[in-house]
Amino acid sequence: MSLAHALFYGVELHFMGLVIAIDGPAGAGKSTIARRLAERLGFTYIDSGAMYRAVALWALQREIDASDVHRVTQLAEAAEITLGAQIHLNGEDVTELIRAADVAAAASRVAIIPGVRRALVEKQRALGQEGNVVMEGRDIGTVVFPAAQLKIFLDAAPHERVKRRVTETPGAHERTVAGQIADRDARDRSRNESPLTQAPDAVYLDSTRLSLAEVEEEILKLVRARMTNGKEFH
Ligand code: DC
């Protein structure tokens, strides 16, 4: 188990094997918040969506359609994906490539395939097994780490999620982005295998009217509450 500590409200806290799971729809701010939180706590940040994007990119490069369940599953099983400041797929830096809109759309298609999910969930569990991780995605609190000590379901109104994506994507058009997000949300929520849903024990956080700093503060309050009410993280 890994041990991390953070100076937190003036108190030195020690964490052992803690998993913070952040799930929610596209554009809710999960990545930014998860990264900031990990930095603040001295944890490892794990972007599970980047793995689905990497598999989708590889399928696109090989011209394998997402409907070819067998071959896409083979890619997911064979893919060597490393996460960090840069994301590598089979040794190639794909950090920028996986952010393209066509890769995002393909990612939500390959994410429907049970074999792909099985392969990637296994990789995610291996990455998180040491603990002291902030992992974000769609099924982290429900499937990947159902025993995570803190689960957040981070949401925001659709118009706000579209606005945020448009702001962070140069040249993006609001109507196009709205369509892309609506399609992805529909696929992510309606698939049979591990659909996007709030875990019963997740804390629902609506970030529509909150700044990044406010969302971060809310989550840090939850971390502190869990640390001080007898549910210490070890
Ligand atoms: O978080 P993101 O936008 O990078 O995710 C890309 C796609 O991957 C998303 O549309 C659904 C899928 N995904 C998933 O099914 N499960 C996860 N844990 C993370 C992402």
Tell me the pLDDT tens digit for each residue of 61-73.
999 999 999 999 9
In this prediction, residue 10 has a pLDDT band, given cuts at 50, 70 and 90, of low
Tell me the pLDDT tens digit for each residue of 141-184.
999 999 999 999 999 999 999 999 899 888 889 999 999 999 99
Q: Whose CA is nearest to atom 6 of ligand 1?
A: 49
- Can you list the alpha helix ranges (DSSP code H) found in 26-100? 30-41, 48-61, 69-78
Fold of 49-130: Rossmann fold (3.40.50)
**Ligand 1, from 113, 151, 188, 189: best to mutate by most atoms within 8 Å of Cβ?**
188
- Ligand 1 pocket (Cβ < 6 Å) reads 26, 48-49, 52-53, 104, 107-108, 111, 137-140, 184, 188
Tell me the pLDDT tens digit for each residue of 92-102.
999 999 999 99
Mean pLDDT confidence for 208-233: 83
User: Are residues 47 and 73 in contact, defined by beta-carbon separation less than 8 angstroms?
Assistant: no
Tell me the pLDDT tens digit for each residue of 106-151.
999 999 999 999 999 999 999 999 889 999 999 999 999 999 999 9
Tokens 């840090």 belong to which residue? 220
Check whether 20 has a pLDDT greater than 60. yes
In this prediction, residue 228 has a pLDDT band, given cuts at 50, 70 and 90, of low
17-43+132-228 shares its CATH topology with 49-130: yes
The CATH superfamily label for domain 17-43+132-228 reads P-loop containing nucleotide triphosphate hydrolases (3.40.50.300)
**What global pTM score does this model have?**
0.91
Domain positions in the chain are: 17-43+132-228, 49-130
- pLDDT for the residue numbered 234: 46
**CA-derived radius of gyration, the chain:** 17
Six-digit token pair at 109? 């298609």
Kindly tell me the burial class for residue 74, based on how many C-beta atoms sit within 10 Å of its own C-beta (0-12, 13-18, 19 or more): middle
Q: Whose CA is nearest to atom 4 of ligand 1?
A: 49
Q: Report percent pLDDT > 70 for the chain.
A: 90
d(Cα 182, Cα 26) in Å, to the nearest integer? 9
